[in-house]
Structure 1
Amino acid sequence: MLASMTRSHNEVAVITGGSAGLGLALATALLDTGWSVVTDARDADRLHAALPDSSRVTSLVGDVRDGDHQDAIAAAVARHGRLDLLVHNASELGPMLPLAEVPESLFSQVLETNLLAPLTLTQRLLPYLIASRGTLVGISSDAAVEHYPTWGTYAASKAALDHLVLTLGEENGIRAYAVDPGDMRTAMHQAAFPGEDISDRPLPESVVPHLLALLTSTQPSGRYRATDLAPAGASR
């Protein structure tokens, strides 16, 4: 199914938040097809258990908001000498409160993780991405375009991330995608619905073929829903 992602040379991806969920599922799929992956997470044990270091895996423990940690990601990319795909996947849900009740400090914290960190990390890595004619991806949400009570903090950050990613693509002549993966069975989704059974939500692994289909397509930059994309390997 993923043969179309295989290349004759060693392509490199940076995927933030690679210890679980969609980040881990995408990193695993790319590794299976010969890519090298640089990824990160704050939980060292979970990160290294999920993706042990190897010649094609660089797992960096740290907070994506931290400048020194971003420098470490950039140094790993420099060692490879190229960057073909940058995926801003790391996210913070933030407070599930009506916007009228959200403290400024908590709103700012979510923006730092979901918006400012992707901006500053992209700024560091942009020369490599441009040189490889690579692809920039922001993992979005339906909340970025819909209006759900108590989701306003997260939603605002994702709407802004969509705009950020697509503007960076336009300004720098690279493909850029804002991708809504849909509901998934992840720890973040469970946190948004405490006590609720979310076993009916699809696993992140089921989203990856749809995302790979977009990455290997000639689709123009823009915002896409994973469910609208035929999975990689599907007959047309």
Structure 2
Amino acid sequence: MTKTALITGASRGLGLALARSLASDGWRLILTARGADALEPVADRLGAVALAGDVADPAHRDRLVRAVRDHGGLDLLVNNASGLGAVPLPPLAGYPLDTLEDLFRTNVLAPLALVQAFLPGLRERRGAVVNISSDAAVEAYEGWGGYGSTKAALEQLSNVLAVEEPRVAVWWVDPGEMHTAMLADAVGAEDAAAAPGPETVVPTLRRLIEERPASGRVSHP
């Protein structure tokens, strides 16, 4: 039976790298990201369904739910879409609270809302959830308090979800530094270019999906 995955933030970076890998193995893909101009060519190349929009928008999440229903259900939810927050990265003493509130909507509430929407089907199909986290969730990096606090919240939600939903595999994955646009926004293009490409993380994700180890936190490498 063909399996179906929904990947958020799939137009670039780790989301795109994982989508390419799953497509090569025959997965049916539903891909979402904010920008249609970047997402639709990716989906065309991979034979995937593209639904551009903001996962923090409840109306867009409803569209994703309908798309999954139209394709027969979901086996894998990958919550990869993420915001960085205020740039340049500010200390917490001066962090704009309205920006932090928006960041929590994107990085915490949206992933949870998608999990809630798809849980009945994931239980039935013994599916899996991958929540992409960060070492900023567990380490005290100057300037990363806003972003890191959202990832810490996402990790604890994942931790509790793993206990509450034994029929669903739940992994929260720290991919380490990757050469992505987000990292470049945070540390500058030159420093970001020294980081490994997101494709180097894909084997770790594929191992989880294929071998289905116990739910938990996973660090790469």
TM-score clears 0.5:
yes
Q: In the comparison of the two structures, how many residue pairs are matched?
A: 218
Greater percentage in helix: 2
> With structure 1 as the length reference, what TM-score do the two structures score?
0.89
The separation in 2 between residues aligned to 1:123 and 1:33, in whole angstroms, is: 27
Q: Counterpart of 2:33?
A: 41
Query: Structure 1's 73 and 53: CA in aligned 2 closer, same or farther, altered over 3 A?
Result: farther
TM, length-normalised to structure 2: 0.95
- On the 8 A contact 1:21/1:186 being kept in 2, the answer is yes
Give the one of 1, 4, 29 matched to 1:12: 4
Shift of the alpha carbon at 1:194? Answer: 2.4
Q: Which amino acid aligns with 1:122?
A: V
CA drift of 1:218 comes to: 3.9
Q: Deviations over 1:158-198 (max 9, x none)?
A: 01101112222321221100000111000001001125332
- In the other structure, the counterpart of 1:177 is 171
Map 1:1-236 → 2, pairs under 5 A: 9-52=1-44, 56-95=47-86, 96-173=89-166, 174-227=168-221
**Alignment deviations for residues 82-110 of structure 1 (CA, whole Å, 9 cap, x no partner):** 21110100000012111111121011011
Offset, 1:123: 1.0
Q: 1:5 is matched with which residue?
A: none
Q: CA deviation at 1:217?
A: 1.9
| In structure 2, distance between residues paired with 1:79 and 1:30 | 20
Paired AA for residue 12 in structure 2: A
TM-aligned CA distance change 1:111 to 1:38, over 3 Å: same
Please say which of residues 14-23 and 117-126 is displaced more in the overlay: 117-126
C-alpha RMSD of matched pairs (Å): 1.3
CA deviations over 1:50-101 (Å, ceiling 9, x no partner): 22277x5111011101111101111111012221110100000012111111
Instruction: Say whether the 8 Å CA contact 1:211–1:226 is kept in structure 2.
Output: no
The 1:218/1:14 distance shift into structure 2, 3 A limit, reads: closer
Choose 75-84 or 154-163, whichever is displaced more: 75-84
Go from structure 1 to structure 2 and tell me whether the alpha carbon gap of 1:206 and 1:73 turns closer, same or farther (over 3 Å shift).
Answer: same
Q: Is the 8 A contact 2:162 2:170 kept in 1?
A: yes
3-state DSSP of counterpart to 2:178: coil
Query: Where in structure 1 are there 5+ consecutive unaligned residues?
Result: 1-8, 228-236
Runs of 4+ displaced beyond 4 Å: none
Asked whether the 8 Å contact 1:53–1:59 carries over to 2, the reply is no
- Give the match's secondary structure for 1:28: helix
Where does the alignment leave 5 or more consecutive residues of structure 2 unmatched?
none
State the identity %.
46
1:49, CA displacement in angstroms? 1.9
